[in-house]
Amino acid sequence: MPRQPVDVIKRYLEDAIAAEKNFESQLRDFAEEGHHSHIQRLFARHADETRSQYERLTNRLHALGGSPSGMKSMLAHMFGSMPKVAQIGHDDAEQVTQNILMAYTVEQSEIAMYEALAAAAAAAGDNVTESLAREIQSEERRTADLLWQELPRAARSSFDEVTGRRTMTP
């Protein structure tokens, strides 16, 4: 039996809420690690933004008559397990680079997640959810851009720390 459009949108919202909640705690951990204060601030700021994102999503879900299910979406699982996997085989000094890389990957997944939500909401004629998805998507894009800019510098500084600034000899 076909499902009601509103139920489909509620499911998308629940998934996004679960993913954002999971990512907020990852970001708080990232903000504690390393000693690059501007990168730590970037993580802390986006953790706050992420909290505001799932609050806005939760408000919308309530307005549609739903409530967060507590069920973990596929993305939430992915966000939860990636960082530990990424750090296997890396020195401590490389952790910040790995954190940026992971956070960048999560942001890109979120951009895709909100693209799907926006498209489904548009198909359902739910303009409010569509513009919320677009608004959050542009916040994720901004963060992804900032992380991308930080990546080479962090990789360089990790390299220097791990090697004692030695370059390769032929």
Q: Which residues bind Fe ion (CB under 5 A)?
A: 20, 50, 53, 110
Is residue 141 within 8 A of residue 106, CB to CB? The reply is: no
Q: Which is nearer to Fe ion, 145 or 160 (CB)?
A: 145
Q: Which residue carries 């990232």 as its tokens?
A: 30
Closest CA to 7 of 142, 129, 153, 169: 129
Least spacing, CB of residue 20 vs Fe ion, in Å: 5
Closest CA to 136 of 46, 68, 74: 46
What value, to the nearest 5°, has the Cα angle with vertex 101 and ends 95 and 105? 140
Tokens at 122, concatenated: 């548009």
Tokens at 161, concatenated: 């720390």
Is residue 27 within 8 A of residue 46, CB to CB? The reply is: yes
Q: Which is nearer to Fe ion, 4 or 59 (CB)?
A: 59
Q: Which is nearer to Fe ion, 22 or 53 (CB)?
A: 53
Least spacing, CB of residue 113 vs Fe ion, in Å: 9
Least spacing, CB of residue 85 vs Fe ion, in Å: 20
Least spacing, CB of residue 143 vs Fe ion, in Å: 8
Q: Which is nearer to Fe ion, 20 or 126 (CB)?
A: 20
